[in-house]
Structure 1
Amino acid sequence: MTLRGHVIQAAITAAAAATVLDPWQTLVLASSVVLIDVDHYLDFVVVTGRFGLSEMFRFHDFVWERRGEVYGLSVFHTVEVFSLLAAAGWLWSEWAWVVLAGFLMHMAADAVFLYRNDALGTRAVSIVEYVVRRGGAGYPRYEDAEE
């Protein structure tokens, strides 16, 4: 899903949540719907060794075009991170539950988008799953895009 799509999703989520959450919780919820995607920037940095934000969007367009060849890992989109947030919510702070709710809203939209684009199995939902299943199907070499 696009950044624009997630921003719209965050606005709709915030409007609905504002009826039951306080303003700060609503802001954190809406922000987490979008900021979970920071891990896409981390993917870009790890895979390419580059840091340019606009280049990161080009990289992910490049990866999307090759989605049938790619088995990716977006760390913040994993069961392990969701479990840590749930544990933090249970043991420490209600704010972790708010962030988890935003992450879950984001993942629901991602799942629909990936399903509609026949790409549901292209991203691991678990770090363990990624390590076990990856084989040689990680990210394509971005340098190939420049040839």
Structure 2
Amino acid sequence: MEILRINKELLPKVKEFLMRIPSIREIDEKVIENASVIIDEDKIFGILSFEVFEKRGLIRYFIFQKTIGDEIIKELFNDVVKNASKINLKELIAIALKDEIQEVFISLGFKPINNRHVFIGEEPVRMTEFDKAMIMKYQLNN
């Protein structure tokens, strides 16, 4: 298995991988531009990407097969951190609804933050469908 940055050749495979996820109805290609993928023998096994908001990156697609080991997930994350640093982002933000996803983000170094001052668009996060989510931040060193 290897970690690759998204490129034109990988784009169709990444879209196909994402469309198999029942909760994804539409793919945001702008977000995919910031993606790194786990690939083995020409097959996608995972993706991690972010959407840019000024000096922050919001984790958008973080999907991987359960058989992927922690070390590969860490490599994938490190590749995304490298990319985020190159474009001078200051932090990555994650919104995690499920306990097991919260644990993954915490294992990668994310820290929970108070969501009282977090907004999605103009609306406070606690007034959205993410009111029960844990909001976490990863500080980039650049």
TM-score (norm: length of structure 2): 0.35
Structure with more relative contact order (C-alpha pairs < 8 Å, separation 6 or more): 1
Structure of higher CA gyration radius: 1
TM-score (norm: length of structure 1): 0.34
